[in-house]
Amino acid sequence: MLSITESKENYLKTIYTLDPCREGARVTDIADALNVTKASASRAVSELEKEGYVDRSNKRQVVLSESGFQKACEIKNRYEIILLFLVEVLHVNGKASAQEACKLEHVISDATLKAMRYFLGEAV
For the domain that residue 104 is a member of, what is the CATH number?
1.10.60
pLDDT recorded at residue 57: 84
Cα 73 to Cα 15, 39, 59, 89, distances in angstroms? 11, 26, 24, 23
pLDDT in tens, 92-120: 988 999 999 999 999 999 999 999 999 99
CA distance 106 to 50: 22
The number of helices, as runs of H, and strands, as runs of E, in the chain is 6, 2
Same domain, 107 and 63: no
Same domain, 15 and 64: yes
| pTM for the full predicted model | 0.85
- Find the domain containing 89 and state its range: 76-120
Domain count, the chain: 2
Of 114, 54, 59, 57, nearest to 82 (Cα)? 114
pLDDT in tens, 14-64: 999 999 898 999 999 999 999 999 999 999 999 999 999 999 988 789 999
